[in-house]
Structure 1
């Protein structure tokens, strides 16, 4: 059943179940990898993100949409000696 708001272009938030570092989680209103990183407060220069076993450059994050069942791996980059 449609509500009046749907006819005006308002939709229910985008809720998707994904896997992050092997743990199932649901994220709401997050449509791509860039939004996911921002949602979790990840600093782009300190992490490497894999999306379905493909390592992404930061510039690819916004062009990588999330879908039900996607697998995300977040690896913290540490330098030192």
Structure 2
């Protein structure tokens, strides 16, 4: 389905936010989503709710990773 991820039109097979996070970070070989936040249509979704948060065509998703330092 078509989604807008971090401002770019993308196609995704993910059905929920957890699957989208895995899809988007698969190349990073991360142990888990620690340090990440996801906003769906302008609302931040708690990590514990990602698997139960479905995606719909044309949703706007922002995936943000926190970094330490300055």
Q: Report TM bin, short chain.
A: 0.7 to 0.9
Runs of 4+ in structure 1 off by over 6 angstroms are: none
Mapped to 2, the partners of 1:36 and 1:21 lie a distance apart of: 12
Mapped to 1, the partners of 2:62 and 2:25 lie a distance apart of: 15
Tell me which of 19, 35, 42 is aligned to 1:53. Answer: 42
Match of residue 69 from structure 2: 80
Count of residues paired in the alignment:
65
Tell me which of 11, 17, 40 is aligned to 1:33. Answer: 17
Match of residue 4 from structure 2: 19
Q: Please, which runs of 5 or more residues in structure 2 have no aligned partner?
A: 27-31
Match of residue 11 from structure 1: none
TM-score of the superposed pair, with normalisation by structure 2: 0.82
User: Which of the pair has the greater relative contact order for Cα pairs under 8 Å at 6+ separation?
Assistant: 2
TM-score of the superposed pair, with normalisation by structure 1: 0.72
Q: Please, which runs of 5 or more residues in structure 1 have no aligned partner?
A: 1-15
